[in-house]
Structure 1
Amino acid sequence: MQVYFDNAATTALDPRVVEAMVEIMEFNYGNPSSIHAHGRQVKTIVERARKTVAGLLNTSPSEIFFTSGGTEADNTAIARGILDNGISHAITSPLEHHAVLHTLEALEQSGAIKLSLLDVDRLGRVDVQQLEQLLANNPRTFVSLMHANNEIGTLTDIEYISALCKQYRSIFHSDTVQTMAHYVHDLTKLQIDFVTGSAHKFHGPKGVGFLYINHQTKIKPFIYGGAQERNMRGGTENVYGIVGLAKALEIAYSEMDDHQRYIQGLKDYMIAQLREHIPDVRFNGDITPENSLYTVLNVSFPCTDMSDMMLFSLDISGISASGGSACSSGSDIGSHVLQAIGADPGRPSVRFSFCKNNTREEIDFVIGKLKALCLEKA
């Protein structure tokens, strides 16, 4: 059996998304910037997709900008949000995706900002009291905190934080790449400046994402070279990707309640099976349903002799999972998230991440392999 439990890294394309993209590939090949009939036709398709995304997020199409993915969206929001608004202080957490952390660190190293990192507890929860104190002492700050951690799944109350930022006249950006299409994001109710999405996290294509920019927040382009995206992002639009993104988001919203129940059931079942069959199993991050992303489960195993071999052994057994963020694969540096929450470095940790295509039978198969691996090394 081949089992894919690395959906936080990327998801399989939904067949309905493939169908929508293929139709555009075959029959709508004009450049949307061209003024002739072929170009105008494709321009209409792009704007229809933008309207779909905006409608699902309850915002205006003029606030949705298509990008190459979450990394570009995060970089744009942070760099332009800070530099174009005269911000000299930024706040984030040590748990953020490197698309956020590295961008902020680069700005600090250039002398553009002073960067403050919030304390986090062992479950990966940020210290909101510390955040408020920092905001009180540094009004008009740039705050970047993710909605759900991509490695451990712990959720952050971005609604509360957005209200806090508004109170102190601060700009708030949230990396919502892992939660987009898995939860409802009502951007009319959420007082936020920037959110990000990436299609391949919700059964859409790779290489396309979007950035929401609140109309009250003004920034300049991050990429120059053309008038595309209403003069905000130069470069010919990835039309096929944009269509796929809109279709995938539309499907996700229409089926969200059923998928939430089903995938949360898979996660609960795996937690129960791990506790039953693996002595001294532990979990990294908050695993309570109300505080945890239902698609992610980070497991700490007692078989310390397998620290460097666990993922390899699972791969040999036909199981695809991750030791952390896929964006850090190939690096010999351990997970910065697990280090920040004080996880035991001697115990191997594996992130299992689920989607609508997974089954209990797959979990049973994985539990059997894990049990054999841990007992073998006991």
Structure 2
Amino acid sequence: MIVEQNVPLQPYNSFGIVARAQHLVRIRDEADVAALLADARWHDTPKFVLGGGSNIVLTGDVKPLVLKVEIMGRRLIEDGPRATVVEVGAGEIWHDMVRWTLDQGWPGLENMGLIPGTVGGAPVQNIGAYGVELQDRFDSLDAIDLQTGETFTLDAAQCGFGYRDSVFKHAPGGPKDLGLAGRALITRVRLRLPKPWKPELGYLDLERKMAETGVAEPDARQIFDWVCAIRQNKLPDWRVLGNAGSFFKNPTVTAEQCADIIARDPKIVHYPMDDGSIKLAAGWLIDACGWKGKSVGNAGVYERQALVLVNRGGRTHPATGGEVMTLAKAIQTSVYERFGILLEPEPVVI
């Protein structure tokens, strides 16, 4: 185990924000965590777990000890009549893992192709796209308690999945609060791919692809290719134009609230949910407030998708975390003043 000092974090966050870690340890297996916690110098030090850095905004140098998760490995652990179960190291790139499952003939993750980040970060955010969320394909995960050093396993119910939410995003707050933010390091994730496979085609963009191509019954690989093409058309490549993907969650409102907004803004994009609530398109709300293409310093709103905030300064003159958050707060204020809705950011602000 080597503790690196004064480590640049610009290569490790998809926004490309300049910041440094005072101390950083690369976690390549469970033994690295055990060695770290056995060292009296670091046992009680505050820690920050870093995966792919695709869902964070750095607003300054990181003082907690950064644990850079680089645990690799992919393997099949079950191939039964009802499901295929695979186990993947937390440091694996999510998109590469999705493509690997398809290459092996194990469909089920194709709607979540090209989502940036690592496998270990996927449960934290309960990532999802085009009608499928991680919780729909989740089996269990292994993690290490960063206070006690004990290894534990969680199933889907114990992860407390919600819309872009999980126990890993909440701090412990009492005997009934099982929040694990800052306390757990995910090491391996197991995904359950159900059989028989059924395509998820309920999104408008996928319906358009079916109409354009004339393919009425696409296989998993075709859906994967469509999803990748759609995302590449709508969203900037973070390696070219720094960003953290969708910056705000799509808000949900009651049917009555939605009807009131529609009376004033009939074109608002909205989706009825199974529980009777209505999900509103945050990108539409932001665009309606005139933010598309606008900037604060070198932080801007992407011209093709108002839900994405970008780093216009590149790697040489990058946006600061302060500029990103100033822009985000201005957008929140505009949307609240016009629609009475407070947008909630998706990335973790550090």
Q: If the length of structure 2 is used for normalisation, what is the TM-score? A: 0.30
Instruction: Specify which structure has the higher proportion of helix.
Output: 1
- Structure of greater relative contact order (alpha carbons < 8 Å, 6+ residues apart): 1
Q: Which of the pair is proportionally richer in strand?
A: 2
* TM-score, scaled relative to structure 1: 0.28
